[in-house]
Chain A
Amino acid sequence: MTTEDTPNHRSRVAARRRAETRAKLLESALLVFAQKGPSALIEDVIAQAGMARGSFYNYFRTNDELLDEVASEINNELLRAIDPAAGRSEDPAERLACGSRMVLHAVTRFPLFGAFIARLPFQTANSSLLGVRFMARDVSLGIMERRFRDIDVRVAADMVMGVMMSAAYGVSRERMDLDYADACVCALLRALGLPRAEASRLCQLPLPPFELPDNSILRRTQMFQDESGMIAPSLIRPN
């Protein structure tokens, strides 16, 4: 190793360690927020992560900043997993049906995620979760192509948000099956002006396979909960 490499190596190690600590804080925050709601305190997160208060502030300044980060981390994970799989059809209605069903199926499989979303302040959830932003693209396209009718863009976006939020809340409240998720999406498609039969058809199409990578925050926290026994094993849906 040359003398030039040493600082490089050190900064690389430091960057990796920093990323690991940050990931651990986000995980702890997801667990704590899901249990206590967004008003949970930084103290709870620190305790869960087993970390000193001072070092926490090297990563996040406020509760809200942490909450936003957790939300966008999950959002990015879901988008990476779902968007390419759901985006194959030419039909915006089919893409929307497929994407929203996949999101809700994910929520059903990871109840902790549903609990987290259900407890977010609405503005945060609205801006960054449940793939609503990427769905907005298909909503506008569907309206432009007259696939969705009798609804204006803004109201359509509000309905997408409302149905996705309430479905996530429903799943977090009690164990639901995938039919519940599909029925909610079917209702959403009718709201957007699809005829009943067409809405039902789109909600029965087979979904492409979708897996979250092992290092995803949703997988990690679910395992974490399993080990510490905070969630009964029966609550965890077999994949």
Chain B
Amino acid sequence: MTAAAKNQDHRPRVAAERRERMRKRLIESAMIVFAEKGVGASVIPDVVAAAEVSQGSFYNYFRTNEELLTAVSAELSAGMVQVIEAVVGEIGDPVLRVATGMRCYLHLARSHQLLARFLAAGGLRVLSQQSEVFRYLPGDVEEGQQRGDFAPMPLDIVMDVTSGAALVAFTRMAHGRTAKDYPEKMVGALLQMLGVAPSRVAVVLAPPLPKLSPEPASLLARAQARADAQSDEAAG
């Protein structure tokens, strides 16, 4: 800490920390409410109730439903990218990179039902806003297309059909149990769709994935823990 900072009144810092905690709390609550009720309806009263804040203080943080949705979506994506990149970052082969990245994304949703529910409720509109998670996809596919591993196809169509397939998978995982290898089966079909030969698909899906653990401080981990506690409470 610099001398200047030491001399500063500690009150603004405490206030900023409190503000940050409150913002996090609202985003957590919002994710749970969106996952339950969908993203179309106005959720602000439910979020206010779930976060146990006053309506007035809510509006100090977010003005609209849409702003809240964008905040949830951005924070979630950032956390997921961190987890996925830790696995995918070192891979050189674009086909293996796409395969592994998509497997991680689907497995995260399979092991965090709250995430699957949120993404399913958000639909294609929210999914296409999750640009962070799909940030590397166009580049990876383009590289693979140049090598002839992926079929030639405009990249915007690649993005559209990939997010469509992912959304169906999230919806299945949000509303019921799926087999442990369901993500691999979907990613396999997805790779075939992008033009990868079936023999190659089997090879790139073979390596086991490491355990995917989001940071305990990430929105995904915090909100899932809260949702679990709530359902335990309801059950007990």
A167 touches which of B40, B161, B169, B175 (Cβ 8 Å): B161
Q: What residues of chain B lie closer than 8 Å to A123, measured between beta carbons?
A: 171, 175
Q: What residues of chain A lie closer than 8 Å to B171, measured between beta carbons?
A: 122-123, 126
Contact with B along A96-109 (1 / 0, CB 8 A): 00000000000000
Q: Decide yes or no whether A169 CB sits under 8 A from chain B.
A: yes
Q: A23 to B123: give the CA distance in the assembly, Å.
A: 29
Q: A199 to B164: give the CA distance in the assembly, Å.
A: 19
Q: Decide yes or no whether A149 CB sits under 8 A from chain B.
A: yes
Contact with B along A27-52 (1 / 0, CB 8 A): 00000000001110000000000000
Judge whether A163 and B164 touch: CB under 8 Å.
yes
Q: Decide yes or no whether A152 CB sits under 8 A from chain B.
A: yes
Number of interface residues of B (CB under 8 A): 36
Judge whether B192 and A191 touch: CB under 8 Å.
yes
Assuming the contacts A162-B164, A167-B160, A190-B192, asked whether A122 and B123 have C-beta atoms less than 8 A apart, the reply is: yes
B124 touches which of A121, A149, A150, A169 (Cβ 8 Å): A169
Question: Which residue of chain B has its CB nearest to the CB of A189?
Answer: B193
Question: Which residue of chain B has its CB nearest to the CB of A172?
Answer: B124
Judge whether B40 and A39 touch: CB under 8 Å.
yes
Judge whether B192 and A158 touch: CB under 8 Å.
no
Judge whether A122 and B40 touch: CB under 8 Å.
no
Judge whether B38 and A161 touch: CB under 8 Å.
no
B193 touches which of A152, A159, A169 (Cβ 8 Å): A159
Binding site for B on A (CB under 8 A): 37-39, 118-119, 121-123, 126, 149-152, 155-156, 158-159, 161-167, 169-170, 180, 183-184, 186-188, 190-193, 196
Further contacts, 4 of them, CB under 8 A, given A155-B182, A162-B164: A150-B192, A151-B185, A152-B185, A167-B160
